[in-house]
Amino acid sequence: MADLPPGKLELVRLRMAHLLEVGTGFRSGNPEDPRPGEPRPCYDPATTTLTERRWAKVAELAAMDRQEAQLLGLDRVGYRTLIRWERGRERSGLIGCADDRWLRPGGRRPSIGPEIREAIFAVHAELQGRSRVGMATRTRLIHQYVRETYGPDLHVPSYNTLRQVWHEWFGPSGSRPRNLGAADLPVRSGHVLVDRPGQVVALDTTVLPAMVREGVFGEPVRAHLTLALDVFTHSLCAFRLTLVSDTAVDAAMMLRDVMLPLPMRPEWGPEMEWPYPGLPSALVAEFAGHPVAGLPFFSPETVTTDHGSVYRNHHLVEVERKLGCNILPARALRPPDKHAVERAFGAIRTMLFEHLPGYTGVDAADRGAAPEDEEVLTLEEMEHLVATWIVGIWQRRHLGEYAPAWDVGGSHSPNTLFAGADRSGAAAAAAGPLLRAAAVPSHLRAAGARSEDQGPLVLRRRA
């Protein structure tokens, strides 16, 4: 009650009197201490119900003079307001009938002494680098610091005061502790200026936001989508769908797909073909051994990945070295280093996967009741659909914000950017069987089972 402003206590007691009259029929709440004329007929518990008495009180207060009701804090009192007052009275007593605006903090707080200030900053420095804790734990640590440093006689402000001061001095603590350390990372001098296709290829993997059916039992399962995106043209040069998490071999074979022309599929028409810029289409088809679809292929100069175990695998690093690729891993806690492929995942989700049966949403909170019960596609059908969508839609869509510097106002797509770019540093790769052998790991295996009368174990290297 001491938190109420001066003069508001009488208004709270007046509200309590009206509330007790609704509940018992008497302003005092005691049938043995009635006022003259109580109980009034409309509030007599013997002849009326609680609902009727509440509506009678609403009508009585609505009939009061508007200015007088405002001065008494009884204006805009409805049926639900009386119920809220009653619940507040049961929970907190007399203070439950007070207006929340009377108890709202006005911005003034007790002054913080130098000892408490020292304790707050000491606890803040101690919590840096640790897992995030709640304000209650911070308050206990502040109390502990004050007690150990200045003794138990020094007064420590309340929890609400410390929370308000912490918020004013250090800001909201809604960010993840892992991301809060990004500002303290060393700044790397220089940057990569991408000016041609194949100069930087970004690789990343995400969970496919749509259910697929596996080919053995036909059960709906989650798959993983791995993309290889050319940063300059924003072309999806290659992709992989795996039922389980991708491996280093999958990433290595995807790099091989980046260097190979994509063959035409039986269902694709002539509109899906696209002659390789700078070379006759017949020469490219003769070189590849099949008609080539409208998807760029080149030798990647630099590969950018995150720090996942797949992309740090020794086999993938060795394959990138054999292909002549520079390895440029994204910096920790630096999303702009790999933002292009991350944004591509979001665009594919909104442009393709949201329209498919079995769509699971962004996360578990957005998932439907039973997406696995829908007629989802098989893994082979999903792979064919994604390939068709990339060649037919993604490579031809207009890129407004990614226009090149030499034609800012022009209309360009990944295909037109690739056709008009300088590819002097990214020649077409002659990817033959040796490239496939370089992309898969080699193992030592026994030539056959060895018995006691056989000779020594013979090991053969298999690619």
HSE, side-chain direction, 13 A CA sphere, residue 64: 18
* Tokens describing residue 255: 């790099």
- Two tokens at 104? 């709202």
Per the CB < 8 A criterion, the answer to whether 11 and 97 are in contact is no
pLDDT band at 438 (very low <50, low <70, confident <90, very high): low
User: Is 32 buried (19+), middle (13-18) or exposed (0-12) by CB count in 10 A?
Assistant: exposed
Q: What is the mean pLDDT of residues 218-223?
A: 88
If one compares 289 and 262, the residue with the highest pLDDT of the two is 262
Three-state DSSP class for residue 64: coil
Residue 332 carries which side chain, given as an amino acid letter? Answer: A
In the predicted model, what is the mean pLDDT of the chain?
A: 81
| Four-CA torsion 320, 326, 327, 333, nearest 10 degrees | -150
Residue 77 pLDDT level (bands cut at 50, 70, 90): confident
Give the span between the Cα atoms of 13 and 31, in whole angstroms.
Answer: 18
Higher pLDDT, 179 or 146: 146
What residues have CB less than 8 Å from 315, skipping those under 6 apart?
Answer: 248, 249, 252, 441
Cα separation, 130 vs 392, in Å, equals 49
pLDDT of 164 over the 80 cut: yes
Ramachandran class of 361: left when φ > 0, alpha when ψ lies in -120 to 50, beta otherwise: left
| Average confidence (pLDDT) over 76-96 | 84
| Residue from 328, 307, 308 nearest 224 by CA | 308
pTM (2 d.p.): 0.59
Dihedral angle over CA of 157, 161, 167, 173, nearest 10: 80
Instruction: List, as own/partner pairs, every contact residues 417-421 make where C-beta atoms lie below 8 angstroms and the sequence separation is at least 24, other chains included.
Output: 417/197, 417/232, 417/233, 417/234, 417/235, 418/197, 418/230, 418/233, 418/235, 418/277, 418/296, 419/277, 421/195, 421/196, 421/197, 421/232, 421/233
The pLDDT tens digits of the residues spanning 128-143 come to 878 888 899 999 999 9
